[in-house]
Structures are given as structure tokens and as C-alpha cells.
């Protein structure tokens, strides 16, 4: 009988501890301010990252024109151009750098760079972790919203605390905001939709109930 009583008391204490701990976590999550509402975003210039594919077009020099991948070290290699850094540059800047390299061999080269496969630098990718259906990393796109991100990751699991989601904004020194994912995708509350920024991290916790 005493063993049974101790088991009941132990279970009660564990339940109380879990409840208090869960309430504390939920209280911490809700202490973050809501994410800023949708607003007109500043003009965004795409920056090249590892895994991107760039198409280099050299005017009047088709033999120098080709499509090349950006290597994991952030550099590219093309005819007459070796180990040229591309990481973090916009296409126009990279084109000017290629022109400088080619200028050592041909007169007045005119280069156009077109990005044909997009990944982007790690610092600007959107990361979704926790109770998303398909947690993953996404390339940032101008005017990307929370709804766009949730569609890409397939929504949230049945165990997610969607309205307890935290948005970690690295562009603002890792400032944290509260976002209402459940209201947005389960209830169609468009007021819960927010604009994403390069480098944002969505942390979707597990529900305690």
C-alpha cells in the first residue's frame, strides 16, 4: 500500500513539475513582442551564395560564356578566370569583377551575370526548426511572408504550439518576436501574417497540451 501511495505522490509531483515548467516556457514565449505588421520593404538586391549557379555571358566572346556553379568556398572558376570570390556579391558586382579579370587578356570585355539557381548566402537564408511538417532552410525572396514560409514547409505538426512560435531576427541583433502561426494557417487570420527578413529563424515549439 505504501509503495502504491509513493507512486501516486511521485506521479502527482511530476505532473505539477511538468505543468509549472510548461507554463514557464509558455510565459517566456508570450513575453516576446508581436512581430511587426506587413510594411513596404526596402529594395532588396540578391546576394550570391554557395550552391548558386551563375550564367556568365561575355559579349562577342561566346567561347568565354558559360554557366558555372558557385563552389562551397564561395568562389567560381571560368575560362581565364580562376578562383574568383562570388560569395555575398550581387550579380552586377560579380560581372564587374569578371570584366577586370578578363581585361588582362582581351580588350574592353562586357560581361553580364545571370543567376539561374538560387540558394543565397547562409546569413540570408530563412531557417524553420521545431514542429514544422518539413523543417528546412529556404532561400530568402523579396517580400516573402510568414505564410509563404509555412506553405514551403508544409505547415505545422499536430503537436505544435503554433501560436507560441518565436521569430528570431538576426538582422536586428537576434531580437525575438512572437508570431501566431496557428491563427494564420488554421484559422485564416491574415492579421497574423508578417513579412520575413533575410536571416530570420522560426522556432516552432511543441505544445504541452
Rounded CA-CA distance 180/162 in Å is 6
- Residue 78 scores a pLDDT above 70: yes
pLDDT the model gives residue 15: 37
Q: What whole-number percentage of the chain has pLDDT above 90?
A: 79
What string of DSSP letters covers 117-139? E----GGG-EEEEESBSS-EEE-
Beta bridge partners of 115: 54
**Tens of pLDDT, residues 119-145:** 999 999 999 999 999 999 999 999 999
CB 123 within 8 A of CB 47: no
Query: How many angstroms separate the first and last alpha carbons of the chain?
Result: 31
Report the candidate in 86, 90, 87 with the shortest Cα–Cα distance to residue 44.
Answer: 90
**Tens of pLDDT, residues 19-49:** 333 434 444 445 889 988 766 566 889 999 9
- Residue 175 scores a pLDDT above 70: yes
**Tens of pLDDT, residues 80-98:** 999 999 999 999 999 999 9
CB 91 within 8 A of CB 167: no
Domains by residue range for the chain, with CATH: 32-40+122-204 (3.10.560.10), 53-117 (3.30.1950.10)
- Residue 162 scores a pLDDT above 70: yes
CB 32 within 8 A of CB 178: yes
The dihedral sign for the CA sequence 170, 138, 53, 116: negative
β-strand 136-138 against 126-130: which pairing, if any? antiparallel
- Least confident among 35-39, 111-115, 164-168: 35-39
Amino acid at each position: 500500500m505504501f509503495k502504491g501511495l509513493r507512486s501516486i505522490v511521485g506521479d502527482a509531483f511530476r505532473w505539477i513539475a511538468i505543468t509549472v515548467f510548461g507554463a514557464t516556457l509558455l510565459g517566456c514565449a508570450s513575453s516576446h513582442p508581436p512581430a511587426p505588421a506587413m510594411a513596404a520593404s526596402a529594395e532588396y538586391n540578391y546576394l550570391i551564395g554557395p550552391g548558386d549557379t551563375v550564367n556568365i555571358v561575355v559579349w562577342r566572346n561566346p567561347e568565354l560564356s558559360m554557366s558555372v556553379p558557385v563552389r562551397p568556398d564561395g568562389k567560381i572558376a571560368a575560362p581565364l578566370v580562376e578562383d574568383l570570390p562570388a560569395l555575398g556579391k550581387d550579380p552586377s558586382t560579380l560581372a564587374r569583377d569578371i570584366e577586370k579579370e578578363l581585361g588582362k587578356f582581351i580588350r574592353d570585355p562586357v560581361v553580364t551575370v545571370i543567376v539561374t539557381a538560387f540558394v543565397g548566402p547562409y546569413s540570408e537564408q530563412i531557417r524553420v526548426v521545431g514542429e514544422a511538417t518539413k523543417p528546412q532552410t529556404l532561400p530568402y525572396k523579396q517580400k516573402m511572408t510568414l505564410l509563404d514560409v509555412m506553405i514551403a514547409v508544409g505547415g505545422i505538426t499536430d503537436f505544435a504550439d503554433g501560436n507560441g512560435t518565436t521569430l528570431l531576427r538576426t538582422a536586428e541583433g537576434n531580437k525575438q518576436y512572437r508570431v501566431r502561426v496557428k491563427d494564420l494557417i488554421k484559422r485564416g487570420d491574415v492579421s497574423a501574417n508578417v513579412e520575413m527578413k533575410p536571416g530570420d529563424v522560426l522556432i516552432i515549439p511543441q505544445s504541452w497540451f
